[in-house]
Amino acid sequence: MLSLNKYIVLLVGSSLLLGASCGNDSSKATKQTNIQSKEFQDKLIEANKMYVKRESDEIDQYVKHRGWNMITTGTGLRYMIVTQGKGELAKPEQLAKVNYKVSLLDGTVCYTSEKNGPKEFMVGKDNVESGLHEGIQYMHVGDKAILILPSHLAHGLLGDDNKIPAKSSVMYELELLSLR
């Protein structure tokens, strides 16, 4: 069975070979290229769906192994409120202040507010993971929650060039301290 990376390299290589072997008729070549491009896009979409499904299954196994009862949103975010607060619910364009611990699913701790201090960000606006923007909106001031962000809601295909590798799911242990 081909790995996803080998599959993509094979698709790109095949596409280039097919494109190079086309005749001199530019209209025919353009039509052929468009068909190949559409087929290539369809194959990439299918490969991506397979990757997302595999990552989702891995996250589900992780959650099941820990016996957690997490809610899964339409985007693939998993969250669980561990401690209920009594404050207001977070909304877009509020400044949220949080304590956090960010870990990989293998337990590697990447970032913590214990080391770096609490983090502040504008809900729905600032440059933080899209999964964090989504997850914070399920929380009230005083809540403590666990969020698991699949890679497409975290740092995606590139990672963060520091501590989070490419295509990594991350877990946030999060406490919403305040909103303004």
Residue 25 identity: D
pLDDT tens string, the chain, 180 residues long: the values are 445 455 454 444 555 445 555 555 556 667 667 777 888 898 888 888 898 899 999 999 999 999 999 999 999 999 999 999 999 999 999 999 999 999 999 999 999 999 999 999 999 998 899 999 999 999 999 999 999 999 999 998 888 878 999 999 999 999 999 999
pTM of the model: 0.77
Between strands 170-179 and 95-104, the pairing is: antiparallel
SS (H, E, C) 127-139: CCCHHHHHHHCCC
> What sign results for the dihedral spanned by CA atoms 25, 31, 37, 40?
negative
Cβ–Cβ under 8 Å, residues 137 and 67: no
